[in-house]
């Protein structure tokens, strides 16, 4: 289990002496964050990963030899660890229930500790094996670092670390940066388009003149300094680069660049997320947000207005 943030005690920075890799590991019991089974309307109780899942062996659900009732993973774990039937019930605590821990069920009072970095669960230990099953069904836990980074679990604060996933992610990140750098040295990526990228990405004002070398260096540094969190440099660059692949995408780049020029020259202004164009005949609202403003500039019915904006820019020397 991993918590996606650096540890305050720098445990996450410790490295293996031979490989140089960060260890990012700590044993259960020396942890700070706590997690427990949460109520799930879908299962009608606590999401413990056991009580509502069939016990499958050889492709079929196990049946109790005496009662002939189908068995669940709860039954399996209770038998494995020598527990009374029903001990691992996922019944949620309700108003009126006792707060006396001796009268509460296992999952009503149990929590698991997670440390910054990675927490190793030893499934030869009962509590840790039960915790692992619970984590698999928790909305607070993504099934992998990749799924966490891809926002497939919007409520996730933790993710399950998979073997070799770190190397795979590093390779993926390296390939992403390499592809971006390949674009900026591609002869088909014109100087004019490079300059538009610099402006749209907010790396320079359209009112500032940059040399070809400066434009290249700005883009190169932008890619080099990227993180890989949501909204990162590489994510913004690749999203913009994707528009180069289609005529409509290129039109969108032109619209975004026009909006940037109009903002820098103060022909239009942005206020509380909206974009407004003061005109002699009255103020025009381009959009209540950035996307709406771009759609306004792309609307064929607004072609005359777009031409007027270009003319106004020309009068201002832009």
| Angstrom distance (rounded) from CA 281 to CA 239 | 37
Task: Specify the pLDDT at position 117.
Answer: 64
Task: Specify the pLDDT at position 168.
Answer: 66
Tally helices (H) and strands (E) across the chain: 11, 14
* CA 35 centroid distance within chain: 20
Task: Specify the pLDDT at position 163.
Answer: 58
265, HSE (Cβ side, Cα atoms, 13 Å): 20
Helix axes 191-200, 247-264, angle to 10 degrees: 60
Burial class from Cβ neighbours inside 10 Å (0-12, 13-18, 19+) for residue 7 reads middle
Phi-psi label, residue 20: left if phi above 0, alpha if psi -120 to 50, beta otherwise: left
Cβ-Cβ contacts under 8 Å for 316 (sequence gap 6 or more):
265, 267
Assess contact for 161 and 22: CB atoms under 8 A.
no
| Angstrom distance (rounded) from CA 207 to CA 119 | 52
Spell 260-280 as b/e; 16+ CB within 10 A means b.
Answer: bbbbbbebbeeeeeebebeee
Long-range contacts of range 142-145, CB-CB < 8 Å, 24 or more positions apart? Answer: 145/2, 145/4, 145/169
| Angstrom distance (rounded) from CA 127 to CA 106 | 10
Q: Which residue has the tokens 């883009």?
A: 219
User: Per-10-residue mean pLDDT for the chain, 318 residues long?
Assistant: 47 47 45 82 93 90 92 95 95 90 92 76 89 89 76 78 63 85 94 96 93 95 86 91 95 96 95 94 94 96 94 87
157, HSE (Cβ side, Cα atoms, 13 Å): 9
Task: Specify the pLDDT at position 151.
Answer: 76
Q: Which two tokens stand for residue 136?
A: 């698999």
Count the residues in the chain: 318
Task: Specify the pLDDT at position 2.
Answer: 53
Task: Specify the pLDDT at position 9.
Answer: 40
| Angstrom distance (rounded) from CA 309 to CA 286 | 12
Q: What is the CA radius of gyration of the chain?
A: 28
Task: Specify the pLDDT at position 200.
Answer: 96
For the chain, domain boundaries: 2-163, 167-315
Query: Is the Cα dihedral 123, 125, 126, 132 positive or negative?
Result: negative
* CA 183 centroid distance within chain: 25
Alpha-helix runs per DSSP H in the chain: 73-80, 106-109, 126-137, 145-149, 165-184, 191-200, 212-224, 233-242, 247-264, 290-298, 303-315
Find the farthest-apart pair of alpha carbons in the chain and give their distance in angstroms, rounded: 91
């Amino acid at each position: 289990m991993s918590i996606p943030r650096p540890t305050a005690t720098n445990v996450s920075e410790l490295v293996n002496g031979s490989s140089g890799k960060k260890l990012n590991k700590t044993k259960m019991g020396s942890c700070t964050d706590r997690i427990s089974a949460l109520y799930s309307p879908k299962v009608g109780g606590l999401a413990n990963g056991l009580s509502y899942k069939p016990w499958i062996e050889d492709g079929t659900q196990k049946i109790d030899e005496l009662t002939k009732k189908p068995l669940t993973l709860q039954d399996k774990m209770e038998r494995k660890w020598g527990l009374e039937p029903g001990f691992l019930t996922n019944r949620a605590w309700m108003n009126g229930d006792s707060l006396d821990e001796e009268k509460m069920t296992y999952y009503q009072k149990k929590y698991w500790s997670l440390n910054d970095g990675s927490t190793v669960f030893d499934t030869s230990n009962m509590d840790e094996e039960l915790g692992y099953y619970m984590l698999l069904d928790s909305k607070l836990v993504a099934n992998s670092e990749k799924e966490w980074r891809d926002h497939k679990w919007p409520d996730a604060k933790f993710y399950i670390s998979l073997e070799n996933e770190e190397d795979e992610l590093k390779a993926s990140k390296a390939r992403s940066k390499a592809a971006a750098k390949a674009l900026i040295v591609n002869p088909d990526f014109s100087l004019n388009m490079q300059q538009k990228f610099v402006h749209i990405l907010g790396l320079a004002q359209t009112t500032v003149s940059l040399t070809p070398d400066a434009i290249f260096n700005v883009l190169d540094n932008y890619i080099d300094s990227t993180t890989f969190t949501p909204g990162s440099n590489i994510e913004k660059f690749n999203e913009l680069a994707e528009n180069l692949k289609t005529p409509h995408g290129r039109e969108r780049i032109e619209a975004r660049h026009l909006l940037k020029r109009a903002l820098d020259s103060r022909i239009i202004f942005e206020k509380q997320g909206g974009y407004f164009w003061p005109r002699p005949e009255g103020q025009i609202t381009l959009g209540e947000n950035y996307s709406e403003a771009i759609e306004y500039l792309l609307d064929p019915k607004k072609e005359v207005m777009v031409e007027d904006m270009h003319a106004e820019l020309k009068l201002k020397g832009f």
